Structure 1
Amino acid sequence: MHRVKSDLLSAHIGSKPSKTWRAICDGIDVLKQGLIKRIGDGATTLIWACNWIPRTGIFRPIASKVPEPPVLVSELIDHTSMTWKAELVRNCFFDFDSDVILQIPLSMRKQEDFWAWHHETNGLFTVCSAYRMLVETKKNREDYFGSCGNCSDVQRIQKEWKHLWRMKMPSKIKVFCWRLAHNSLPTGSVLKNKNLANTANCKICGAEEDTWIHSLLQCNISKCVWALMDEDLLDLLASLRFSDPKYWVSYICCNIPQADGIRILVTCWAIWYARRKAIHEGIFKSPFSIMIMINRLIEEFEFVQGIDFKEKDLYQEKSRTHNWIAPQNGLSKINTDAAIDRTGTKGVVAAVCRNDQGGFIAASAMVIPHITDPETLEAMACLEALAFAEDCGIRSFVVALDCLNVVKNIREMP
């Protein structure tokens, strides 16, 4: 029998541990790698000894800029307005730390700090997320000790890949884009670098170096296909000056209208497919037949996925023509929403309350500096709705929001 005299996270393996206790201690070590303090009033969280900064890598500040820095997180919070003391944070921490600290949302209600699992948005531990964490940690360490170059902005890279995998395209085209981003398409230059070909010449036009740019954009057959596209898309492609295919694919997935991005990527796939047919099977397709294949695929996407490629950017703000849905009799309804300003430096949350007949009761809006994560702002809008209802004395009400992930996380909370 092992008696733990302190809290579980501070338990030690001891001098003569049993196999069971060893296994428990190994599990505690895994927990320590992913547990993080969620900040309430900050009174129980030590700045330099606790994990509390939500980011990839180190969950604590790197270093202090002043000789006698604050000790508790509560010293960094203005408890009157429940906001961060931005000037104090900037003075005490380097930008690498202060930028993340100022983005941590604070509750407007009196709430103690609590532990949460960093690798799930709802803060709940799962074996699956712990396994993913260990695999990613192992890979990062191997890359570090193996001197493999890797980008430090892991979260940004993960979001870029998510943009690609969530695009409404067939899996074969997504895999093609993934291979293109990793520069693993068997172009002439790739084959020569791997000693699989004697030259890097293009098998279609005879150009000296067959790179991904040449195959998809500059080869004779590629130029003929792109010439049949809209001029706006051609101007967009001409403005992209990326030599790294990863940045090229990432820009198309994340920074241009989804319909245009899908059309560009589908066209690249069709050009590559036509090149493979010509090189390996001797079947040459005309630019018009390639364009017909592209348009047929686009029409299938429109039918199956419901994407209208003639409309404007799906990421742009859509005109909302939905009618307001009344709640049950006797209930009030609070509609919430959140947005980010054009500079990307602050967010705003708002709540509007109506009765069951649609009559206006009250409204509330709040600007939140430094926080720009959409899901975080949507969750804070829900908190604002609850506080708003309490201030107005509204007892029977429902809250409506349009962020499915926030709804799921709320329902999964114990």
Structure 2
Amino acid sequence: MEAKLGSQPSLVWRSIWSARTILKEGLRWRVGDGNEIKIWGSKWLTSPTSYAVQSPVKVLQEDTKVEELIDTQKGEWDEAKTREIFVTEETEIILSMPLSGRGTKDRLVWGPSHKGLFSVRSAYFLQLELRGRNQGESSLEEKRDDRWNRMWDLKVPGVTKLFIWRVANNLLPTKENLYKRKVIEEKMCPLCDAEEETIMHALWECPAANNLWGNNESCVKKWARFELNFMTLWEKFMDRLTKDQLEEMVVLLRKVWLRRNDWVFEKRMACPKNSFSATKAALHEFRVSQLVSNQNKMVHKTDTERVKWEKLERGFVKVNWDAYLDLKRKKTGIGIMIRDEQGEAMVTVCDQKLNVVEAAVAESYALRKAVEFVSRVKNMAAHSLAKKALVMEGEQVWIEEVPGFIVGCLKNDKDVTQEDE
């Protein structure tokens, strides 16, 4: 990451080197044992957009590693030390971050992906975000701008949503865009040959597009055909059209583009009236399929709720676990039930965990606790010995005899073995 470009770099190395900005922005640390991560200067928090500690350096040295904040005996954050060093907001973030119970190593992950794995798609969206920051877009303006949310919330096929997103970002291969990239030498509209083919011209202003928008069935028949950019037009769509009309419009916009492509590549043009009827039929079919899909999910959920106990094979146990998250108190309750092959309760556990703010983390804590207890159930004798060793002084060995506190465990194991035979 710190390599120099050099005086005469190859095209490949120049391309790799120029991507460092994106990599530095997207790479973040996932805390394991904390040996590799600096508290100040490294990206290891879950708080956007810096992902780095903003609290001033105090108590510890500036180059101190995250391991100094971890209670290694408990495998948890040292809450007292954390609250002493960081501001309240960062303290809550740190304490809510789960730690591995096995002391795994720290590792770098790709932050823009939920799985932590790099993908070209996530890097592309990160690049767009960085470009927006450089252009001076404030976070407050982004929150107020619900135009993008309205696009993705439309009840239309995914391919149509992606098309509208590409239109809004000027990513269609119009003649103007191809000309800018030096793919072609002229940028006139292939349909009217009167204007340069921008996105707005192709979809809204071209006479070929107006053959469709001027149709009697069009909800924008009397609208003006000049707009500075698509987002301005989109705002008018949002203000003047109903939800159903808006969904019909985005499908029709894609139809306009497909009609243009049919002419460019196959020299044929679909009838505007047929486009309206095809659009209405396609939307109706999509909505029906979505309704059927949701009904099937409800049926599946009902069937799942009716699942009853099934007898297990001999020697197996069944473990049920769950977690209940109280976001207000940042606290999760954990419930575990372990039963034998007859359905009889072997272990019942109620526990709680503080500083939890995500449902997935709460469920993970419950699962980890359940696995711990399964190991104890299947190995109760050794577990009892290990527990007793904590209160003994020095090593104790029993030859051809056993201590009284594990007699019951051994008897249970022997009974199960005899049943299996």
Query: TM-score when scaled to structure 2?
Result: 0.51
* 1:116, distance to aligned residue in structure 2 (A): 3.9
Are 2:128 and 1:139 equivalent residues in the alignment? Answer: yes
Q: 1:328 to 1:393 in 2, by over 3 A?
A: closer
| 2: CA distance, partners of 1:43 / 1:171 | 44
| 2: CA distance, partners of 1:210 / 1:178 | 16
Q: 1:114 to 1:65 in 2, by over 3 A?
A: closer
* Partner residue of 1:73 out of 62, 66, 76: 66
Corresponding position of 2:109: 117
SS of equivalent to 2:362: helix
Amino acid at match of 2:336: A
| Superposed CA RMSD | 5.7
**1:309-351 deviation per Cα after TM superposition (whole angstroms, max 9, x unaligned):** 9x9xx9xx99933223454442222223233226373333433
Q: 1:389 to 1:138 in 2, by over 3 A?
A: same
**1:354-387 deviation per Cα after TM superposition (whole angstroms, max 9, x unaligned):** 2233222113343232322222333333222222
| 2: CA distance, partners of 1:210 / 1:16 | 52
Consecutive unaligned residues in structure 1, runs of 5 or more:
1-8, 201-208, 217-264, 275-279, 282-289, 396-414
* 1:141, distance to aligned residue in structure 2 (A): 2.8
Are 2:22 and 1:37 equivalent residues in the alignment? Answer: no
* Partner residue of 1:215 out of 241, 245, 250: 241
| 1: CA distance, partners of 2:87 / 2:239 | 41
Q: 1:88 to 1:139 in 2, by over 3 A?
A: same
Between the two structures, name the one with larger relative contact order (CA 8 Å, sep ≥ 6).
Answer: 1
* 1:153, distance to aligned residue in structure 2 (A): 8.8
SS of equivalent to 2:295: coil
Corresponding position of 2:54: 62
* 1:117, distance to aligned residue in structure 2 (A): 1.6
| 2: CA distance, partners of 1:21 / 1:177 | 34
Are 2:372 and 1:387 equivalent residues in the alignment? Answer: yes
| 1: CA distance, partners of 2:89 / 2:223 | 39
Corresponding position of 2:402: none
* 1:59, distance to aligned residue in structure 2 (A): 3.5
Q: Which is higher, the Rg of structure 1 or of structure 2?
A: 2
* 1:93, distance to aligned residue in structure 2 (A): 2.4
Consecutive unaligned residues in structure 2, runs of 5 or more:
170-199, 205-219, 253-271, 274-279, 381-421
* Partner residue of 1:307 out of 290, 295, 305: 295
Amino acid at match of 1:348: G
**1:279-307 deviation per Cα after TM superposition (whole angstroms, max 9, x unaligned):** x97xxxxxxxx9xx99997655333x043
Corresponding position of 2:267: none
- Check the 8 A contact 2:34/2:106 in 1, yes or no: no
| 2: CA distance, partners of 1:365 / 1:162 | 45
- Check the 8 A contact 2:160/2:250 in 1, yes or no: no
Q: 1:384 to 1:51 in 2, by over 3 A?
A: same
* Partner residue of 2:353 out of 368, 390, 410: 368
- Check the 8 A contact 2:30/2:108 in 1, yes or no: yes
Corresponding position of 1:194: 228
| 1: CA distance, partners of 2:142 / 2:356 | 18
Identity among equivalent pairs (%) = 17
SS of equivalent to 1:361: strand
SS of equivalent to 1:75: helix
* 1:61, distance to aligned residue in structure 2 (A): 1.0
Mapping of residues 167-206 of structure 1, within 5 Å: 170-171=157-158, 194=228
* Partner residue of 1:335 out of 320, 330, 340: 320
- Check the 8 A contact 2:26/2:110 in 1, yes or no: yes
- Check the 8 A contact 1:35/1:115 in 2, yes or no: no
Q: 1:35 to 1:364 in 2, by over 3 A?
A: farther
SS of equivalent to 2:29: strand
Query: TM-score when scaled to structure 1?
Result: 0.52
* Partner residue of 1:347 out of 332, 335, 345: 332
Amino acid at match of 2:328: T
SS of equivalent to 1:51: coil
